[in-house]
Amino acid sequence: MPAYRVIGVIGGMGPAATADFLARLVAGVTAAHDIDHPHVLIDSNPHVPDRNAAVRGDGPSPGPALAAMAQALVAQGAQVLAMPCNAAHGWADAIDAGVPFVSMIDAALAEALGHRPRCIGVLAVGATLALDLYGRASPVPVIAGDLAVVQPAVNAIKAGNRSDAVRAALAGEAARLAANGADVIIAACTEVPLLLSQADVTVPLIDSTAALARATLAAAALPDMDG
């Protein structure tokens, strides 16, 4: 059974997505007892300045808040940091707390590239698209979902609306991306996989939250001293 470094979670963007990330961490461990799971420290702060407003110039940068959260988690003992919010990775450079930081963008993109796509589609919100977080990191072309469809769907999910109509809107946009050449689609906003699943999409769907959880557990795993 592997042992783990202490994981610190820079969260709250939004709260449901952070709770989903913790559930993915728990599910990702083969455990017989509580003690087999990693120690996880979570700062779920919904008051981090809005990422979309910041990139539009309508609000303050979230960078200082993210940096302060990271430093506080490390001061409490975190040895590996993760942040389950795609858009907030536009300010990941502010996070310099002296411990490894696991990039959600890199984790999701690595899983997408495992399907050997010629083109990747992303379902994302304003800041992720405006900063081209996936496009800048990808070696293959990336096409974006329609913000006029995805943003209202994400807003609805954040407000607790998990209706068939919201699911259908996201599934329809995924279908449009596939029809336009996307061989794989990344759910590049942590609210999207709270509703949309592989059953709704005709090409491989990469859940960025699940990808980050897997990458975080891998980064936090200690060497097997008995091996």
So which residues are the catalytic ones?
Answer: 85, 189
What whole-number distance in Å separates Cα of residue 227 and Cα of residue 93? 36
Please, are residues 128 and 189 in contact by the beta-carbon 8 Å criterion? yes
Distance of CA 212 to the CA centre of its chain: 6
Please, are residues 7 and 29 in contact by the beta-carbon 8 Å criterion? no
Residue that is written with structure tokens 């470094």 in the block: 5
In this structure, the number of other CB atoms found within 10 A of the CB of residue 179 comes to 10
What whole-number distance in Å separates Cα of residue 173 and Cα of residue 44? 30
In this structure, the number of other CB atoms found within 10 A of the CB of residue 109 comes to 25
Residue that is written with structure tokens 């304003």 in the block: 126
Q: Which are the contacts of 117, defined by CB distance < 8 A and separation ≥ 6?
A: 140, 182, 183, 184
